[in-house]
Structure 1
């Protein structure tokens, strides 16, 4: 039995790329509006272009998904909902979406608009996908780090449609969890403006000494290419195969879509004979590559994932440098591939920056004469401003002939197969001609002519003549697959009447194919606007009241579930001070400094002094948690256990173990960072606080998480102080006021990839000392590794808001948080905690700012985004 054919989903950053995608065989295209798209630097589509694109696609049987997949600020929510409403009306097939608040609004006010969860939602486990389903998500774009085995398991457990990337650029961080571009330059990847700092140069240091590395682009991955493993992905039953590339040229879209269309069809037709030709692979390589990888589908690629020597398109090798003429400033090349004027080249080891991306050939010489093109084996000279050592490889980064061909063919309108239609005509004397045209998508048009069929006076019209005229569908998108003519003999029909009737029927069928996807407008925005500010808190109190009445009628099986606290009970009389710690020593320092609440994450991270993973596991044993909980409770403070940000299905038992510590040892609850853990914690009725990796950017997202049962939510560190004030009136909120913010979490172990064995075995170099990455401006970014061998990159500077504590407190937050990630010294933790404790107490008691400031805590601090915000 043939496997199901997956949808081929193509990118489009503009109308030319969109047409190229459709004409070269895409089943669906994803694109962005001018606002709220995670590719803010693409040209994207105006409203007029969006409607034209959707109509163009629907006419040809192609779906269109619009990306509204950025995090939304408070003042953007209304416009985003308006955009969704309009997109619904014009027939958008689905919205690719990230913001939890917008999802909740869309489900409430636009219930018939299909929603697909963006990869920016970091969905990577079955529980998270299940929760997304309850939110109204129909399809999930899983994290690129999921293996094929994990994808199959998620599909089996959830029954949800799955979409995966099969080709194009990769992020080194889990999507939706990267703040690197944001904190370095104010361009938020969560809002579509990533400046790609991962493609910059970095140096690796260990304990202050530089470590020699192969290449300098230490965070730059290769591009994804799954052609060789495509069959396994098809057999897994994945519904949609997605090509990355909304920032790419139309020719790139045309070429990549065409090849994957061909490969998918080839496998479906005959799996046993599936192959990828050298020509197909070369075209993909020529169009764009940083080197290729199959990603995480079939194995953890470790060091083979990375393109450390060149973060840009390397094209294909085209020749070798044999010399340089300094008088004419020409480089001499021996060609291994043809070159022609208009091609682009990049010369390895040339005395120029890789960022310059090479040169377009405007003139080329063989001997003393100029030439338009040269072939394999020829030696040519090309004007070139920079020298390069003899023997250096020359890459052809742009193939003008290929690109011109792809452009011309895509614009011709002749590539996409015609849509077969059945034509039925009734031609009877004295009656109008009856014509029905029906496509294979159940669209049918029936019309009659104003003309009445006449009896033939001389030459009757033949059946063959009628068939010929009605099947002349010419430049339309249709072809006549079947013709059924019912007619009398000896009748006469003018050719012009047949042509006019056929043209009208075709126009009506085209309109029907487009209009059937349009939806009647819904008047929802006024209803949304009328919701009262603060209704979140009111709704939660009503929900708590209903739950209490229900609990009175039920027998209580678990004493720990008898007295659920209301949201009002969790509102503190004063602002709490929370401290995240990752060791017993750190916990003691935080308590000594005056913390009200402890977030305890023992065992999450490796430390240099630990000599074996078993020792780390022992540290995270129940005895350690028991001691931590006892110490905190003895001090009369709260303790919440930190759950990992990323938890694959195979590691969910680690979450259950944390839950068991809460139940058995009496911790106050857990800190939750992903939707999968949130689903589990709800099912287990464990008290929880929603942490900042859930990207709480606006009051709607805040409301959703509180309604899901969160006692408190930690607001995104990308919000300004003014933006924070828009969220805090709606419930108990916490903000981070000190510490090194985590900039990314990556499945790739950087130190193991650089310093481990090339056979894929890791000798745990992360235990040998403290590692940092240093950028071109000499900023140092500490690295941490967790016990799943994932990389955590911390900011080069610690956030410190001591001087601005009054402004923070006046914003209405219920809790301030000190983050000690990367801090090993308990005395330092105590000192920082005490400074914040004193500053809070001074202001609450006197209404005045205290004497505490960041200079007393050290050097090199930042105020993060509290005053500068993000794009």
Structure 2
């Protein structure tokens, strides 16, 4: 029995790439509108182009998914819903979404529009997928860190339709959880404008001392390439194989799609004889690579995941530098692969910045002669502006011949197999020609000619001639697979009449194939006439449950920190003992469950004796195999009488809800607008933490709809990564990691000498903290006037209990001063230290 063939899903950042994807064998293409797309720097598609692309694809039996996968600010929700309404009408097969508020509105007002959950939603466990299925999500794009075994487990538990990335660029952070670009430069990955600071240089430090590393691009992963393991992914029953690359050239899309089309078909045809040829692998390498990895599908790649020496396209090795001609400013190269004018090269060890190493060859010399091309073994000289040491490798990063070929073939319209059609014609004297054409999707067109068939007086029109004319489908997407022509007696039909009839029928078939996907317009936006849009979804004003006085909440990660927060005046604490590794535990195994139970019991008792609330923190990332630890935390809450848990992903939220454990929804759930807040509160959250990417003014628009918290102090977490940087660099090449993270405090230093602390958790995931601590102490009146329910101090990376106490006390004093007097108190950030930031409260994000 042949395995089920997965959908091959291709990227397209513009119309040329779209056509290349379709013509080279994609089953589906994903594209972005000009607004609300997670690839904001791609050219993307206007509304007119969206419809043209969808019609082009549907005519050829290809599906189109449109990405509306960014987080939405309050003022954007209406426009986003209008866009979804338009996409529904023009026949979009599905919309890929991230924003929970938009999902809830779409399901209510556009119930027949299929929705796919973007990888930006950080879905990586069965509970999370069950949650979004209840919201109406039909397919989930899993986090790229999911292993094949985890995918199988998720499919077995949920029966969900799954989509995974199989080729292209990787993010070092879990998608949807990266604030690095956002907080460094105001360009948010959650909003489609990531500036890729992870591809920059960083230095690793431990306890303030530099650590020598191989390469300086410490956060830059290789590119995903699953060709060798494709069969195992097919056998797992994954529904859709996705290629990354909406920012790539059309030729890249053409080449990668063509090869994966060929490989998928090859495996389905004969799994036992599956192979990847050297030519296919070299083409993929030539098109674009930072080095290749299979990611996390089959095992943890550890250090092999990373491209630390070069964050740019490597191409393929093309030769070795044998010398440098100072007089002519040329490098002398002995070629190991052909080079031609128009090819691009990058030279290793060139005395230039890495981004300037790429060069297009406009002239090339063999001896004194200018040559157009040179082959393997030839020695050539190429103009080059900087000196290069002999022995350096020359890489061909752009092969003009390959790219020209891919472009020409994709534009020819001759690559994609024609759609077989059945044609039937009944011809009899004195009657119109009855003509029927039918495709394999049961689309049928039947028409009759206005012309009445004449009885032949002299030279009848032969049946062969009639069949020949009716079979001429030319440049249409169709070809005749079966033809039945019935002719009664001798007839005469002008050839022009046959051509006109055939053309008319084929045009109608094309229109039928396109129009069947269109949907009738519906009025979806009447609800925006109300001033309380979010309240319509809850059925009652959600502000009823909001505390009258704002609370001061503090996240702590040790018992000592908890006592310090309580001493400083916290109203409630979020307790996360046991989540992160600590340097002082060097040489000691992680705490046992019994030890943690004792710590939790003491913590709960301490908070309750102080008359304060305590919530236990659950991890942001929890695979199915790790969910037992969360279940144990929920049991501790119930047994110890704690107030609840803090949840950071939809899976732990779903589990807490099912177990009837009170929960607070944390900021990694990316609450950007009132509709998302309303949904989270409807699902049972006692309170929700608003995204730190919102400005103070934007915050006001959201928190008025229900109990909400904002983070006002502490180092914000910039990313969480499945890749442990210290383990990958220092933990040994093989076998178990030696846990170098326990040997001291680690940090990354960027090119501007900003220091970003690193934390590692007990699942060996890496957490990168911001270089500066957020401090909003001087703006407490403005924050309280927003009607926020709780102000949060985050102490992640703050290990000194006395510092936790001082910071908490400062905020307690400011909150009390404003409540008592309506004015600013005496506290300010300078009293707490230096190097603070106000984050996005006043600058916001794109």
Q: Aligned residue for 1:562? A: none
What are the superposed Cα offsets for residues 234-289 of structure 1, whole Å, 9 maximum, x if unpaired? Answer: 01110000000000000000000000000000000110000000000000000000
SS at match of 1:821: coil
Aligned length: 846
Take 2:296 and 2:587, find their aligned partners in 1: how far apart are those partners?
A: 26
Q: Aligned residue for 1:767? A: 742
Q: Aligned residue for 1:553? A: none
Q: Aligned residue for 1:107? A: 107
Q: Aligned residue for 2:805? A: 830
Take 1:644 and 1:330, find their aligned partners in 2: how far apart are those partners?
A: 56
Q: Aligned residue for 1:699? A: 674
Q: Does 1:238 align with 2:238?
A: yes
Q: Aligned residue for 2:181? A: 181
What are the superposed Cα offsets for residues 756-784 of structure 1, whole Å, 9 maximum, x if unpaired? Answer: 11125310000000000000000000000
* 1:31-180 alignment runs, 5 A limit: 31-180=31-180
Runs of 4+ in 1 over 2 A off after TM superposition: 527-534, 536-542, 570-573, 611-620
Offset at residue 600 of structure 1 (A): 0.3
Take 1:600 and 1:79, find their aligned partners in 2: how far apart are those partners?
A: 40
Instruction: Mark the CA change 1:615 to 1:2 in structure 2 (over 3 Å): closer, same or farther.
Output: closer
Q: Aligned residue for 2:296? A: 296
Take 1:121 and 1:620, find their aligned partners in 2: how far apart are those partners?
A: 34
Offset at residue 612 of structure 1 (A): 5.0
Q: Aligned residue for 1:27? A: 27
What are the superposed Cα offsets for residues 183-207 of structure 1, whole Å, 9 maximum, x if unpaired? Answer: 0000000000000000000000000
What are the superposed Cα offsets for residues 513-532 of structure 1, whole Å, 9 maximum, x if unpaired? Answer: 01111000011112343362
Offset at residue 430 of structure 1 (A): 1.3
Q: Aligned residue for 2:831? A: 856
Q: Does 1:734 align with 2:709?
A: yes
- Contact 2:538-2:682 within 8 A present in 1 as well: no
Offset at residue 754 of structure 1 (A): 0.5
SS at match of 2:793: strand
Q: Does 1:451 align with 2:426?
A: no
- Contact 2:350-2:357 within 8 A present in 1 as well: no
Q: Does 1:594 align with 2:575?
A: no
Q: Does 1:684 align with 2:659?
A: yes
Q: Aligned residue for 1:811? A: 786
Q: Aligned residue for 1:481? A: 481
What is the root-mean-square deviation of aligned Cα atoms in Å?
1.1
Offset at residue 619 of structure 1 (A): 8.0
Take 1:620 and 1:109, find their aligned partners in 2: how far apart are those partners?
A: 51
Take 1:59 and 1:620, find their aligned partners in 2: how far apart are those partners?
A: 64
- Contact 1:312-1:357 within 8 A present in 2 as well: no
591, 610, 627: which one aligns with 2:602 = 627
Offset at residue 489 of structure 1 (A): 1.7
- Contact 1:536-1:731 within 8 A present in 2 as well: no
Q: Aligned residue for 1:574? A: 549
What are the superposed Cα offsets for residues 412-437 of structure 1, whole Å, 9 maximum, x if unpaired? Answer: 11111100000011112211100110
Q: Aligned residue for 1:551? A: none
SS at match of 2:2: coil
Q: Does 1:333 align with 2:308?
A: no
* 1:260-279 alignment runs, 5 A limit: 260-279=260-279
Unpaired runs of at least 5, structure 2: none
Unpaired runs of at least 5, structure 1: 543-566
786, 789, 808: which one aligns with 2:764 = 789
SS at match of 1:868: coil
783, 791, 795: which one aligns with 1:820 = 795
Take 1:416 and 1:597, find their aligned partners in 2: how far apart are those partners?
A: 62
Offset at residue 572 of structure 1 (A): 2.3
User: What is the TM-score of this pair, normalised by structure 2?
Assistant: 0.99
Take 2:357 and 2:9, find their aligned partners in 1: how far apart are those partners?
A: 29
Offset at residue 617 of structure 1 (A): 3.4
Offset at residue 492 of structure 1 (A): 1.7
- Contact 1:119-1:143 within 8 A present in 2 as well: yes
Q: Does 1:314 align with 2:343?
A: no
Q: Aligned residue for 1:192? A: 192
Q: Does 1:646 align with 2:621?
A: yes
SS at match of 1:362: coil
Take 2:200 and 2:548, find their aligned partners in 1: how far apart are those partners?
A: 47
SS at match of 1:248: coil
Take 2:261 and 2:254, find their aligned partners in 1: how far apart are those partners?
A: 10
Take 1:528 and 1:536, find their aligned partners in 2: how far apart are those partners?
A: 10
Q: Greater CA deviation, 387-396 or 519-528? A: 519-528
What are the superposed Cα offsets for residues 360-404 of structure 1, whole Å, 9 maximum, x if unpaired? Answer: 001000101110111111110011001111001000000000000
- Contact 1:599-1:639 within 8 A present in 2 as well: yes
What are the superposed Cα offsets for residues 497-552 of structure 1, whole Å, 9 maximum, x if unpaired? Answer: 1111000000000000011110000111123433625626963579xxxxxxxxxx
Take 1:106 and 1:65, find their aligned partners in 2: how far apart are those partners?
A: 15
Take 2:537 and 2:637, find their aligned partners in 1: how far apart are those partners?
A: 27
Take 1:474 and 1:55, find their aligned partners in 2: how far apart are those partners?
A: 19
637, 640, 646: which one aligns with 1:665 = 640
SS at match of 1:154: helix
Take 2:552 and 2:347, find their aligned partners in 1: how far apart are those partners?
A: 57
